[in-house]
Amino acid sequence: MIQRFANPKRFDAIARRVAPVMAVAAAACLAWGVWLALFDSPPDFRQGDTVRIMYVHVPAAWMASAVYVLIAVASAVSLIFRHPLADVAARAAAPFGLAFTFLALVTGSLWGKPMWGTWWVWDARLTSVLVLFFLYAGYIAVWQAMEDTQKAARAAAILALAGSVNIPIIRFSVDWWNSLHQPASVFRAEGPTIDSSMLWPLGVMALAYTFLFAALWLYAIRTEIAARRARTLAMMVASRDEAADGTGEARHA
């Protein structure tokens, strides 16, 4: 499996065909999901219309952790198998993870103000998601700080693995600590605790976010592969020009 898709050329060929499909699916799901979320779903009996914030908040929060898991897995693959495509994939995913985490924090804050009476509380769930935001920022900063792509890749991968401790903390923080944040209501052993009239818009929006990320990620990976090729070419051209300059000087002398 890894071997099959690990060839950058073949990956490029597959991604070229899959990405537009994902983009179309994302657009369709987004249109349907927003329709369901804003028009075709009831207000909650306790939270009123603020429950509609859930349909943009929860998918963003899911994607925030899911993208980090992807980065951590890709980092492990990159460290163990030394495959360049894995660290390209990890690097390309990071900005999206940062953006989703930002969205989760901001929409959560907008939901918290009317429901809890405060924009922010320092409870375990909110704090661990804030930590996730910082982890993304550090991860991106490591990539940008190091000139040598290979060294940057390994440093970033090590950081991503170390930071992955945070993911189970985010997942279980609402169960382990009493907090204002409501406990998990969709993915639980006994089945979801929310009504199907709300589960539908939530599921469709989650799909929309997933497809959107998948499409953008594939584009970004292809871009990153092209950028690496450009860097290699630039170095080749530079060294060739240098060699040409050298002979030129020799001739003058």
Partner 1 sequence: MTAFLALVRRDVMLSFRIGGGAVLGLVFFLTVGALMPLGIGPEPQLLSKIAPGLIWVLAVLTALLTLDRLFQADFEDGSLDQLALGQLPLWLVVLGKVLAHWLTTGLPLCLFAPLMGVLFGLAPEGYWPLVLGLLLGTPALSLTGAMGAALTVALRRGGLLLSLIVLPLYIPVLIFGAGSAIMAVDGLGADGALMMVSALSLFSLVVSLPLSALSLKTHLS
Partner 2 sequence: MAQGRRVMPDPGNFFDMGGYAAFVWPAYGVSLVVLCALVAGTLIRRRRVLRQLAALERAAGNSPENQ
Name the residues that contact partner 1, by CB under 8 A: 79, 127, 131, 134-135, 137-138, 141-142, 145-146, 151, 154-155, 158-159, 161-163, 165-166, 169
Reduced to 3 states (helix: H, G, I; strand: E, B; else coil), residue 44 is: strand
Residue whose CB is less far from partner 1, 165 or 226:
165
Q: CB of 148: closest distance to partner 1 in angstroms?
A: 8
Residue whose CB is less far from partner 1, 13 or 145:
145
Reduced to 3 states (helix: H, G, I; strand: E, B; else coil), residue 48 is: strand
Binding window for partner 2 (CB under 8 A); candidates: 43-51, 83-91, 142-150, 174-182: 43-51
Q: CB-hemisphere CA count at 13 Å for 28? A: 6
43 counts as binding partner 2 under rule CB under 8 A: yes
One of 25, 50, 179, 180 touching partner 2 (CB under 8 A): 50
Quote the Cα angle for 134-132-88, to 5°.
85
Q: From residue 229, give the alpha-carbon distance in Å to each of 68, 225, 244, 248.
A: 26, 6, 22, 28
210 counts as binding partner 2 under rule CB under 8 A: no
Binding window for partner 2 (CB under 8 A); candidates: 81-89, 122-130, 163-171, 220-228: 220-228
- Residue 44: what are its φ and ψ, rounded to 5°? -70, 145
Q: Give me the DSSP letters along 236-251.
A: HHHHHHHHHHHHHHHH
Binding window for partner 2 (CB under 8 A); candidates: 2-10, 138-146, 159-167, 212-220: 212-220
